[in-house]
Amino acid sequence: MLGAEVGHKSAHRIERRIRNSGLVERKTLEAFDWDFQPTLDKDFILELARLDFVRRHDDVIITGKPGTGKSHILKACGLSACEQRIALRYARCVDLLDDLHVGLADGTYPSRLRAWVRPALLIIDDVGLGQVRKRGDEPTAAHTLYNLIDRRHGHSSTAITSNIDLSHWGRYLGDAVVTAAILDRLAMHAIRIDVDGPSYRQRVAADRATKRKKSKEPTETPEPEQP
Ligand SMILES: Nc1ncnc2c1ncn2[C@@H]1O[C@H](COP(=O)(O)OP(=O)(O)O)[C@@H](O)[C@H]1O
Ligand SMILES: [Mg+2]
């Protein structure tokens, strides 16, 4: 095979991997404004994106207020995983739970659970955002998540972002005792990053408002000359 053809096939494979992973937005760390978030250790995050933690089967938890770049960092890690041929699945926490709960209702739970257990890297985005639904006698979100984390723990990496403190997960997931068991597996050994800084979303909104204001301001036009 010619070099160009090999390159083309490999790019095609990476593209398919990204599409199948559930990663919709393609974020990179090259596009990250480090000066905006000075509490973040740039070298540490760049090292994280090299994904040695996946090879070590370590977990990652990134906490912090909304808009601080938590999802951006993990999405960039996800993209890097696809490029490195590491099997990835990405989902927001509520979507993952919904998927498993659909499986409980229609008998496809075992195969759905296997699909979430299998990938070398699973990114669970936004724990704490969105309504975790509980219907009838279904297990709580805490139970569902526990089943998944327990199967993955020690065999594969799970990387999580959360906008709420870990001490509030119990209330969010609907069972404090089971959540403690999740955190016992995850948080005790996970790489922990807390982003304590401003929201990039608010900055973008402020920039837009400034631009709008400027465009509305009357531009200085010279007085028409008197005939
Ligand atoms: N430091 C940054 N540099 C560039 N873009 C950023 C930065 N922080 C956040 N963003 C962008 O701002 C938006 C919100 O960031 P996100 O990572 O989703 O925040 P979080 O997950 O912490 O709520 C995204 O579009 C993201 O790409
Ligand atoms: Mg987020």
Query: Predicted confidence band at 187 (pLDDT cuts at 50, 70, 90)?
Result: confident
Please tell me the number of the ligand nearest to residue 42's CA.
Answer: 1
Instruction: Identify the weakest region by mean pLDDT among 7-11, 72-76, 144-148.
Output: 7-11
Question: Which of 125-134, 163-172, 211-220 shows the lowest mean pLDDT across its residues?
Answer: 211-220
Q: Which residue CA neighbors atom 7 of ligand 1 most closely?
A: 69
DSSP code for 167: G
The pLDDT of residue 227: 47
Q: What domains can be seen in the chain, in order of their start residue?
A: 59-203 (3.40.50.300)
**pLDDT, tens digit, for every residue of 45-64?**
999 999 999 999 999 999 99
Instruction: Give yes or no for residue 214 having a pLDDT over 80.
Output: no
The structure tokens listed for 22 are 């559930």
- Indicate the pTM of the whole model: 0.90
CA of 124 to the centre of ligand 2 (A): 10
Report whether pLDDT(222) > 60.
no
CA of 126 to the centre of ligand 1 (A): 13
Q: Whose CA is nearest to atom 9 of ligand 1?
A: 69
Helix (H) or strand (E) holding 72: helix 70-83
Strands (E), 5-120: 60-64, 88-92
Compute the distance between CA of residue 198 and CA of residue 205 in angstroms, rounded to an integer. Answer: 13
Average pLDDT over residues 98-102: 93
| Count of residues in the chain | 227
Is the CB–ligand 1 distance for residue 109 below 6 Å? no
pLDDT tens sequence across 132-146: 877 777 788 999 999
Give the single-character DSSP code of 153: T
